[in-house]
Amino acid sequence: MSFAGALNAFRPLTRVSTRLSRKSHTIQRYIAKCNFVRTTRNCKTLQGGRAYSAGSTRAMSNEETAAKAAAAAGMADAGAPTIFDKIISKEIPANIVYEDDLCLAFRDIAPQAPTHVLVIPKIRAGLTQLSKAVPEHKDILGHLLYTAQAVAKSEKLDKGFRIVVNDGEEGCQSVFHLHLHILGGRQLTWPPG
């Protein structure tokens, strides 16, 4: 089935949520579908049963599509609740690897490397994108980076890791709640993108 066909088959599942507008709910479903298609088509299995994406052009195309759809729907400026807000409130299950009063770290559902963990602030406070940071965000930004290195240590990424922040449509940001990606567990290539 083509990606478009899979998306069309998924559309009837879109419902109006009491907490989310129809537009943001549709975008979140669309992003989940992009991740599902990418995961099922492009995964390799690692020792221990975890899967990761081979990082094909199709996967990048899906991320670009999801980012463009989120931007077109006005998700960047809306500050509407995101899927991350539901993970923070434990409405949606996640494989949490670290949590404190300020942030949460959990495994990505469509990993791009053997280890792929997201680190998010628990309170957005207008911090939907790194480019929207203001001086009041300095403390949480520092805490997110410090947490990322602590998580990398706990994940035994002693040979190296990469921290990625996608910002805006052209940066392929599809969830407008600032988050850091920790990638590792294999030799990463350069240049990215």
- Catalytically annotated residues: 179
Q: CB count, 10 Å around CB of 187?
A: 9
Amino acid sitting at position 170: E
Whether a cis peptide bond, with omega within 30° of 0, leads into 191 is: yes
Residue 39 tokens, joined: 């995961």
Cα gap 12→30, rounded to integer Å? 12
Counts of helices then strands in the chain (DSSP H, E): 6, 7
Residue 140 tokens, joined: 């949480």
77 φ/ψ angles, rounded to the nearest 5 degrees: -100, -20
Distances (CA, A) of 98 to 16, 140, 143, 154, 167: 32, 16, 13, 9, 23
